[in-house]
Amino acid sequence: MKKILLIVLAILVAAGLVTFMVVKQQSGYTKVLTAKIVRQDLSTVISGTGQIKPTTYVNVGANVMGRVTHFYVKEGDSVKKGQTVATIENVQQTANVNGQQAAIAAAKTDINSYIAAEKTAEANMERAKADLEQKKLDWDRAQGLYKAGIMAKQDFDSKKAAYDTAVATIAQMQASIGQAKAQTESQRAHLQTQVATLRANEDMLNKTIAVAPFDGIVTNMPVKEGETVVTGIQNTAGSTLMTLADMSVITAEVKVDETDIVNVKLGQPAEVTVDAIPNKVFKGHVTLVGDQALLRSTGVATSQSTTGTEEAKDFKVVVTLDQPDETLRPGLSTTAKITTAHKANVISLPIQALTIKPDDKAGAPNSNVQAASSSSGSGSSSSPSLQDQQGVYVLSKDKQGKLRAHFVLVKTGITGATDIEVLSGIKEGDEIVTGPYKTLRGLKENALIKKDTAKPLAPPSSNS
C-alpha cells in the first residue's frame, strides 16, 4: 500500500513539474487567431426591402353612371387587350342607338324619294323641251303663212301663245329640277347630322362596356356587381371598376438607407428575392434612384413633412427585373441586393482584423473597426487621420525565431461581406492577427504571439 502511494505521489510531482514548465514557457505569449493575406474578388453589396410593382398600371373607371350588370373577370385573372371585363346597364343608351338607326333609315328613304323626284323633274324637262321644239316649228310656220296672208289672225295668235307657253314651261321645269336637287342635298345634310348623332349615341353605349386597355392582371376590384357607379366631375374622381397591371415589365421598388444611397447608380446589377417565392433569385438592374428622402416611420418625403424631428431616412430605388416571372404579383414583399462596386483579384483582409490606433505610438490602445468598415460599403478608400491610424498586426519572427506582432498602417478600398480591399501597407502572403476581438483591442506592439489552433468563431454579419 505504501508503495502505491509513493508511485501516485511521484506521478503527481511529475505532472506538476510538466505543468510548471509549460506555463513558464508560455508566459508572456498572447494567443491569437491568424490568417494569411490572399487575393479574391470583392463586391460591395447593399440591401433594400420593398415590394413588387408593375411599371404600368391603370384604374379602369366608370365612363357613365349606372348599375354594374356583370363582371367578366375576378381579381387575379389575366386579361388580354380589348377583352370585355365589365358592363354597366345600358337600356337608355341602347334605345338611343336603335332610335337613331331608325331615323337614319327614314332619312335614307327620304333621300331616295327626293332623288326620284329629281328624275321625274328631269323627265318632265325632256318632255317640255320636245313640246317647245314642236311649238317653235308651229310658230315659225305660222309666221310664214300669216305674212303670206293665208292664215287668220286668230290662228296666228294661237300659235304664238302656244309657243310662249312652252317656253314658260321649260323655265318651270328647270325650277322644279333645282328645287328637287336642293331638297335632296338638304336631306343628305340631315342624314349626316343623324349619322353624327348615332356615333355619339354609340359612343355612350360603348362606354357602358369596360375593356382591357392592355394585356395584364386584375389586381384590385373595389366595386361589386350590382353596385351603382358614377363618373368623375370637376375635381372629384369617379368610381373605379378595377385596377389592371401590365406585368410584362416588373420592378422591385425598395427603400435604401441614407448612408448607402450615395453609392447607388443607374444600371448597377441587382439580385431580387421574393418572400413568397423562396429559393429563387431574379436578376435585375437599377432604373431609378430617388432624390427625395423618406422618413422611415411614415414613408412621407421630408419635403412634405410638417414635423422637425430627426429620424432615420430612406431613399426609393427601383430595380427592373430582366426576366420577370408569371408567378410574380404586385405587392409581394421583396429584398433587393444591389452591387455598388466590384473588383476582381484584389488583395484583401478580413474586416475583423482591421484596427484603429488612437495615436501613432507603438503599443497604444487599439479599437476594432469591423463595424465601421462593414457599414461604409462606399467603394472608396478610407483615409485615416493623424489621430486615428487604421492598420493590422502583421506577424514576423525575431532573431530568436519567436513570432511577434507589429502594427502596420494600411489603406483600404471597397468593402465586401466579410473582407475589405487592401490598397497599400501589406502584401499577398503576409500573415496577420484576426482575433479574438478582445485580444486585438489590447494587443501591444512587438508582443510575443502564439497561434491559436482552435476553430475561429464566425465573424459578425455585415450590413454591406
Give CB contacts under 8 A, 24+ apart, made by 290-296. Answer: 290/261, 290/315, 290/316, 290/317, 291/315, 292/316, 293/258, 294/255, 296/255
CB 238 within 8 A of CB 60: no
The C-alpha atoms of residue 433 and residue 360 are separated, in whole angstroms, by 19
**Phi and psi (nearest 5°) for 83?**
-70, 140
What type of residue sits at position 414?
I
pLDDT at 13: 65
Give the HSE-up count for residue 60: Cα atoms under 13 Å, Cβ half-sphere: 33
**Phi and psi (nearest 5°) for 360?**
-90, 15
Topology classification of domain 92-206? Helix Hairpins (1.10.287)
pLDDT at 29: 82
Closest CA to 69 of 58, 85, 49: 85
The C-alpha atoms of residue 89 and residue 68 are separated, in whole angstroms, by 6
Closest CA to 341 of 256, 253, 422, 264: 264
pLDDT at 24: 41
What type of residue sits at position 430?
D
Cα–Cα distances in angstroms (integers) from residue 376 to residues 244, 260, 405, 412, in the given order: 41, 8, 27, 12
Closest CA to 291 of 267, 317, 311: 317
Grid coordinates representing 58 are 391603370
Give the CATH number of domain 57-89+208-240.
2.40.50.100
Domain 28-44+343-451, CATH class in plain words: mainly beta
Grid coordinates representing 364 are 497604444
Q: Which part of the chain has CATH 2.40.420.20?
A: 28-44+343-451
pLDDT at 443: 86
Neighbours of 173 (CB within 10 A): 20
DSSP output for 152-165: -HHHHHHHHHHHHH
Q: Which part of the chain has CATH 2.40.30.170?
A: 246-341
| CA distance from start to end of the chain | 69
Per-residue b or e along 281-316, where b marks 16 or more CB atoms closer than 10 Å to that residue's CB: ebebebeebbeebbbeeeeeeeeeeeeeeeeebbbb
Q: Which part of the chain has CATH 1.10.287.620?
A: 92-206
Statement: 246-341 belongs to CATH 2.40.30.170: yes
Q: Which part of the chain has CATH 2.40.50.100?
A: 57-89+208-240
**Phi and psi (nearest 5°) for 52?**
-75, 135
Cα–Cα distances in angstroms (integers) from residue 268 to residues 31, 44, 127, 336, 425, in the given order: 43, 11, 91, 12, 30
The C-alpha atoms of residue 38 and residue 157 are separated, in whole angstroms, by 136
Neighbours of 97 (CB within 10 A): 21
The reported pTM is 0.60
Mean pLDDT by groups of 10 residues along the chain of 464 residues: 73 61 54 90 92 89 92 92 94 93 92 89 88 87 85 86 90 88 90 93 92 90 92 82 89 93 94 93 94 84 69 91 87 94 91 78 48 42 56 89 90 89 91 88 86 60 42
